[in-house]
Amino acid sequence: MTDDVLIQIEGKAGRIRLNRPKAIHALNTGMCRAMLDALTAWRDDPAVEIVLIDHAEGRGFCAGGDIRMIAESGAGDGSQARDFFRVEYQLNHALFTYAKPIVAFMDGITMGGGVGISQPAKYRVATENTKFAMPETGIGLFPDVGGGWYLSRLPGKTGEYLALTGHRLDGAECAALGLASHYLPAAALEDAKARIAADPAAVEAILAELAVPAPEPRIAAHREAIDRLFAADTVEGVFAALEADGGEWAAAQLATLRTKSPQSMKVSLRLVREGRAKASFAEEMAQEFAIGGRVAQSHDFIEGVRALIVDKDNAPQWKPATLEGVSDAMLDAIFAPLPAGEMWSPA
């Protein structure tokens, strides 16, 4: 076990509490393995009727994964990065297929890996503090941990919009899009957890009683524009539509996209489009594992982490530097299935 995640049984609930406050509870391999082991132990334990996932002290639910480690590994042989992805995706899949109900409390920053451990839950609680995003195109990565599954199933072209821009949603927007099942004031969370742990069978009634009406979702004002401007088959087509629009909102999205990795944007758009046709979550995770191992060793990811996380000069030098430089052959190589002995499979 690891002190980075606190695991215990409280009442009739299995409690998983992320505990890396200085890293905004970003996941590392040990945390993922400990959570996976706990879920396995609780699967047939009659004392555990429900699982609650939240964070201990500090702000944010979970800011993502251990990006520095992945980049350092990617600059070498990539083995540690692949080990992390393998265990993390097994955790994501175990949560997705778990027989007992899970409640995830997305109070604060919920990004990347935080999305991966909250979206599989039957009950996903957002608050006024929620900041939900898949911002990976900004560091040369892609919306993994099931992003190809979840984003592709959002209304209209919202998934394409979020995958490409990394736009942050608030709690009300998460509730409106179905990314959250309930909207509660943060002040009510401890009461909710205590009552659910004492009486798991009443979880729906408890959440419904403590829920409050969410504010008007800001994204609703742009839904028509999102569906129209992010509908193209290619990233170049999205850029062309935004350029032709001439409006202030479209110009702002275009400015955002111009800061992102061209390769990552193309990978992300293809991931969302292909994700809609995936027959199972396991199939999606196997695809993302193949992509993740390759992208972790790519120039753009290592450079993106350098520019935004290590040196913080916010001036990544992408290669290729243009969308046109990212060929279909390059994408096909990134998406190619792995050899049988290297493929991902559920735990």
Task: For residues 79-106, give the mean pLDDT.
Answer: 98
User: Which pLDDT score, from 0 to 100, does residue 197 have?
Assistant: 98
**How far apart, in whole angstroms, are the C-alpha atoms of residue 138 and residue 163?**
10
% of the chain residues with pLDDT over 90? 99
d(CA 96, CA 146): 10
Tell me the residue range of the domain where 168 lies. 5-342
Residue 313 clears pLDDT 90, i.e. is over it: yes
Which of the four pLDDT bands, split at 50, 70 and 90, describes residue 59? confident
pLDDT band at 133, cuts 50/70/90? very high
Task: Say what the pLDDT of residue 89 is.
Answer: 98
pLDDT at 2 over 80: no
Q: pLDDT digit string (tens) for 233-251?
A: 999 999 999 999 999 999 9
Is 144 catalytic? The answer is yes
Q: What is the pLDDT of residue 58?
A: 79
Confidence bin at 199 (pLDDT 50/70/90):
very high
Is residue 162 in some structural domain? yes
Average pLDDT, the chain: 97
Q: What is the pLDDT of residue 33?
A: 98
pLDDT greater than 80 at residue 200: yes
Is the CB of residue 147 less than 8 Å from the CB of residue 110? no
Cβ-proximal residues to 300 (8 Å cutoff; 6+ apart), any chain? 140, 261, 263, 264, 316, 318, 319
Q: Is the confidence at residue 1, as pLDDT, over 70?
A: no
Which of 88, 107, 136, 160 is flagged as catalytic? 136
pTM of the predicted model as reported, rounded to 2 decimal places: 0.97
Out of 49, 54, 66, 144, pick the active-site residue. 144
* Residue 306 included in any domain: yes
Asked whether residue 14 is domain-assigned, the answer is yes
Q: Tell me if residue 148 falls in helix, strand or coil.
A: helix
Total domain count, the chain: 1
Residues 89 and 344: beta-carbon distance below 8 Å: yes
Tell me whether residue 242 is in a domain.
Answer: yes
Q: Is 236 among the catalytic positions?
A: no
Can you tell me whether residue 183 is helix, strand or coil?
Answer: strand
> Quick one: average pLDDT of 146-168?
98
308 has pLDDT over 90: yes
pLDDT (0 to 100) of residue 110:
98
* pLDDT higher than 80, residue 166: yes
pLDDT value, residue 57: 83
User: Catalytic: which of 60, 65, 108, 166?
Assistant: 65
Structural domain includes residue 347: no
**Which one of the listed residues 11, 60, 112, 113 is annotated catalytic?**
113
Query: CA 201 to CA 80: how far, in whole Å?
Result: 41
Query: What would the mean pLDDT of 7-29 be, rounded to a whole number?
Result: 97
* pLDDT of 179 above 60: yes
Answer yes or no: is 33 within a domain. Answer: yes
Q: Is residue 26 part of a domain?
A: yes
Residue 276's pLDDT is: 96
> Domain of 261: which CATH number?
3.90.226.10
CA end-to-end distance (rounded Å), the chain: 18
